[in-house]
Amino acid sequence: MEKFTQFIVKNNKIIILIFLIITVICGILAVGVKVNYNLEDYLPKDRNSTIGLNIMKEEFDEDFPSANVMLTDVSIQQALACKEKLKNIPHVTSVTWLDDVVGIDILLSTPFEYIDNTTTQAYYKDNNALISLAIEPGYELDTVNELHKIIGEENALSGSSVNKAVLQEMSSSETLKAMLILVPLIILILLLTTSSYIEPVIYLVSIGIAILINMGTNIFFSDISFITKTVSPILQLAVSLDYAIFLMHSFKEYRTEHEPKEAMKMAIKKSISSISGSAATTIIGFLALIFMRFGIGMDLGLNLVKGVALSFISIMVFMPALTILCLKLLEKTKHKSISMDSKKAGKWLMKLRIPLLVIALLVIVPSFLAKGNIDFEYGSGNAVNEERVEQDSKIIEENFGQMNQIVILVPNDDIGKQTVLNDDLEKLEGVKEIISYDSMINSSIPFEFVEGMDSMFNSLNYSRIILYTDYETESVRTFEALDNISNTISDYYDDFYIIGESASVYDIKNVVTADNTIVTVVAVLGIFLVLLVIFKSISIPMILVFTIESAIWINLAFTYFQDKPLNYIGFLIINTVQLGATVDYAIFITDRYVSDRTLHMPKEAMTKTLTNNITAILISAGLLAFAGFTLTLTSTNPIISELGVLLSRGTVLSFAMVSMALPALLILLDFMIRKTTFKHNFYVTKKKRGNLK
């Protein structure tokens, strides 16, 4: 350790130069990191909808339709002409309309009123044409912009690709907007609580470098999710500030009696164990996300773990070097910090500890029950609130009804079996129309006219059946309908695939629901083990984990009592992020209490702990809560905005539980803590009779 600290203070300018070079390189690389806006891509490869999409692309050489264009007041010839223009747009992989179903010759040569009405209604109605398109993933924004140029303002455009295009356009600036709000707030808080105008700059530069390096090193991944891109920098900044503040605080303490370089060496030695312990609990919480089968967990978890590790390195290596370089500036820019009188707060919390604990316990029980009854959303269908998208979707729905397309792939070895299956599928509630090779053969169109349509419905191994339904993209009714469709098909086929946006969301639901138990157990067990090592106690980790988990339950219960659905991704993330990021408050208070407990009895020790340290966790919690609030304020994506609400509210609740309930628990359970803590060295006095006081 001596050589390490000596190297930092001796070569501070070289260290700063190396970090700046790496930061510039990573800043350039960050521009080239590909962002994925498609949640379905994070499904495990063995899911039915994922396999089905790959088979359809391979055997039918096309993607699932992801956009709808409605042309108003057009003839069939005009619709066909527009279809050809749409086919020529780069990254449009397929365009489907009525001519693909009934055949171009039939459409042009047969009077329209003689073509089966049940077939045409989904494509051409009241002189309005509805054309389906598939857009290559990753190119939604440019493609949708081209589509708007072609169809103009008088026509409508909707679909999942349109939603993703809006997300791409808006989220590209959201991280910057969030930082522009959060950074000034952090600077203001730090200016009020530090003793130098330059000190907050040192903190932010040190962590900002780590954030840029983290963003740039994402180039080694094939892509990152839009959730990771937006959330990761904010969380990395918020959870890392504590490390910087703690190191600087130690430096200033030693600076009063030692030369700057010696003081910095001593500060690094003193701080590295506590900062690494704090970083370890945060990393463990984030690591739990990696155990999710749903790939968003791996994507976000790896990014956050990498970010916290880089922040730790930057604060322990770069920040000391920068501080040594800026010593004169620190001295010249000194100012009086606002000192908050925490004596009254500490005494008040101690005086009311029992009533506060009783209130907390009374709230915890219904909260635990309520969190198990939350209504969840699983996809990103409601993630866009853009005016034109909403208007266009409404126009298309008014003209063609709720149109949710579901594709079924079954083996093409038995046409007779398909006929019976089609009849059963038509009887299902919500199925408006079925288009398949079999249904066309049995329609009023003569058999000889359907020759050449085979490629649309039959491939080498599979037959394709298209269901037009009135199901919402995601709802209880939709999921029940998918179960009914699956059960109906399974009566005839063992090998089949159901494809579509709703089918993908249904698979997401099944995967992430199973992930919940794994993620929670891994996070709790991992942090419990870290706490076991830190405190050498069995009971203390149980008390601390219970304290933060209780705050999580209360946080989630708010959603239930507000009678609002919660996106399941936000639910999984907050379960680990709130635990990993705020358990530090409980560790901080407990660590100080254990230290004070060696000199005082429980009540006196806790009074001293709260008086001396409540301000520190208040500042830390305030910064993290502001980070969550900033996500809510700046994000146009309800998933991100909702996560911000959970984070800010959860941080406040964690602070409340740590400052109001934890002190009472530690005092009440003091006897158990002493019995289950290795070499605790607690202060104990005895009465004359030998009973513990």
- Which residues, listed in sequence order, are joined to residue 510 by a DSSP beta bridge? none
Q: What is the mean pLDDT of residues 68-91?
A: 91
Given this model, what pLDDT does residue 246 score? 83
Query: Is pLDDT at 550 greater than 90 in this prediction?
Result: yes
Given this model, what pLDDT does residue 555 score? 92
- What digits encode the pLDDT tens for the residues 55-66? 988 888 777 888
Q: What is the mean pLDDT of residues 582-586?
A: 87
Query: Is pLDDT at 213 greater than 90 in this prediction?
Result: yes
Residue 444: which pLDDT band, with cuts at 50, 70 and 90?
very low
Closest by alpha carbon to 228, among 380, 44, 36? 36
Domain count for the chain, please give it. Answer: 2
Dihedral class, residue 228 (left if φ above 0, else alpha if ψ from -120 to 50, else beta): alpha
Q: Among the three residues 461, 488, 503, which one is the final residue of a domain in this structure?
A: 503
Closest by alpha carbon to 461, among 407, 411, 419, 409? 411
Closest by alpha carbon to 267, among 250, 252, 255? 250
Q: With respect to residue 592, please indicate whether it lies within any of the assigned structural domains.
A: yes
Given this model, what pLDDT does residue 440 score? 65
Q: What is the mean pLDDT of residues 24-41?
A: 89
- What digits encode the pLDDT tens for the residues 120-146? 888 888 889 999 898 888 788 889 999
Residue 447: which pLDDT band, with cuts at 50, 70 and 90?
very low
Query: Is pLDDT at 693 greater than 60 in this prediction?
Result: no
Q: With respect to residue 106, please indicate whether it lies within any of the assigned structural domains.
A: yes
Given this model, what pLDDT does residue 687 score? 47
Higher pLDDT, 253 or 477: 477
Given this model, what pLDDT does residue 339 score? 63
572 and 466 share one domain: no
Q: With respect to residue 362, please indicate whether it lies within any of the assigned structural domains.
A: yes
User: DSSP string spanning 427-480?
Assistant: TSTTEEEEE-HHHHHTSSS-GGGGTT-HHHHB-SSEEEEEEEE---SSSHHHHH
* Helix ranges (DSSP H) in 88-198: 98-102, 104-109, 117-120, 140-151, 160-171, 174-193
The answer for residues whose C-beta is within 8 angstroms of residue 686's C-beta and 6 or more apart is 692, 693
Q: Which two tokens stand for residue 629?
A: 């609030």
- What digits encode the pLDDT tens for the residues 313-341? 999 999 999 999 998 888 888 877 666 66
Q: With respect to residue 471, please indicate whether it lies within any of the assigned structural domains.
A: yes
Q: Among the three residues 451, 484, 503, which one is the final residue of a domain in this structure?
A: 503
- Which residues, listed in sequence order, are joined to residue 497 by a DSSP beta bridge? 409
Q: Which two tokens stand for residue 581?
A: 């990021």
Residue 172: which pLDDT band, with cuts at 50, 70 and 90?
low
Q: Find the length of the chain.
A: 693
Burial status of residue 399 (CB atoms within 10 A of its CB: 0-12, 13-18, 19 or more): middle
Given this model, what pLDDT does residue 385 score? 56
Q: How many CB atoms lie within 10 A of CB 440?
A: 20
360 and 435 share one domain: no
Per DSSP (E only), the strands in 161-298 are 224-225
Q: How many CB atoms lie within 10 A of CB 304?
A: 29
94 and 122 share one domain: yes
- What digits encode the pLDDT tens for the residues 401-431? 777 889 999 998 777 788 889 889 988 998 8
Given this model, what pLDDT does residue 454 score? 59
Q: What is the mean pLDDT of residues 626-648?
A: 84
Query: Is pLDDT at 692 greater than 60 in this prediction?
Result: no
Query: Is pLDDT at 517 greater than 50 in this prediction?
Result: yes
- What digits encode the pLDDT tens for the residues 149-159? 898 888 999 88
Given this model, what pLDDT does residue 340 score? 61
**For every residue of 586-631, which 3-state class applies, written as one string?**
HHHHHHHHHHHHCCCCHHHHHHHHHHHHHHHHHHHHHHHHHHHHHH
Query: Is pLDDT at 207 greater than 90 in this prediction?
Result: yes
622 and 658 share one domain: yes
Given this model, what pLDDT does residue 61 score? 74
573 and 665 share one domain: yes
Mean pLDDT (the chain) is 85
Buried b (16+ CB within 10 A) or exposed e, 73-92: ebebeebbebbeebeebebb
Alpha-carbon span 375 to 568, nearest angstrom? 9
485 and 564 share one domain: no
Query: Is pLDDT at 12 greater than 70 in this prediction?
Result: yes
**For every residue of 341-369, which 3-state class applies, written as one string?**
CCHHHHHHHHHCHHHHHHHHHHHHHHHHH
pTM over 0.85: no
364 and 436 share one domain: no
- What digits encode the pLDDT tens for the residues 353-370? 899 999 999 999 999 999
Lowest mean pLDDT among 116-125, 180-189, 275-284, 640-649: 116-125
- What digits encode the pLDDT tens for the residues 426-442? 889 988 888 887 766 55
Query: Is pLDDT at 445 greater than 70 in this prediction?
Result: no
- The helix-helix angle for 353-371 and 343-351 (nearest 10°) equals 70
Q: What is the mean pLDDT of residues 243-251?
A: 86
Higher pLDDT, 359 or 383: 359
CATH number at residue 362: 1.20.1640.10
Query: Is pLDDT at 453 greater than 70 in this prediction?
Result: no
Q: What is the mean pLDDT of residues 514-531?
A: 86
Dihedral class, residue 502 (left if φ above 0, else alpha if ψ from -120 to 50, else beta): alpha
364 and 478 share one domain: no
350 and 431 share one domain: no
115 and 91 share one domain: yes
362 and 393 share one domain: no
Closest by alpha carbon to 662, among 257, 310, 357? 357
58, 315 contact by CB (below 8 A): no
Task: Report the first-to-last Cα separation within the chain, whole angstroms.
Answer: 43
- What digits encode the pLDDT tens for the residues 612-630? 888 878 888 888 888 888 8
Q: With respect to residue 234, please indicate whether it lies within any of the assigned structural domains.
A: no
Query: Is pLDDT at 451 greater than 70 in this prediction?
Result: no
Domain residues for the domain of 128 are 48-168+386-503
Query: Is pLDDT at 226 greater than 70 in this prediction?
Result: yes
Q: Among the three residues 462, 479, 503, which one is the final residue of a domain in this structure?
A: 503
Given this model, what pLDDT does residue 380 score? 64
Q: Which two tokens stand for residue 574?
A: 């907050």
Q: Which two tokens stand for residue 215?
A: 């963003």
547 and 632 share one domain: yes
Percent of the chain residues topping a pLDDT of 70: 94
Given this model, what pLDDT does residue 689 score? 43
Q: With respect to residue 229, please indicate whether it lies within any of the assigned structural domains.
A: no
Q: Which two tokens stand for residue 365?
A: 């029980």
Q: With respect to residue 622, please indicate whether it lies within any of the assigned structural domains.
A: yes
Q: Which two tokens stand for residue 133?
A: 């398109």
Alpha-carbon span 574 to 548, nearest angstrom? 12
Q: What is the mean pLDDT of residues 532-550?
A: 92
Q: What is the mean pLDDT of residues 383-392?
A: 70
Given this model, what pLDDT does residue 386 score? 60
Q: With respect to residue 212, please indicate whether it lies within any of the assigned structural domains.
A: no
- What digits encode the pLDDT tens for the residues 492-507? 998 999 998 889 889 9
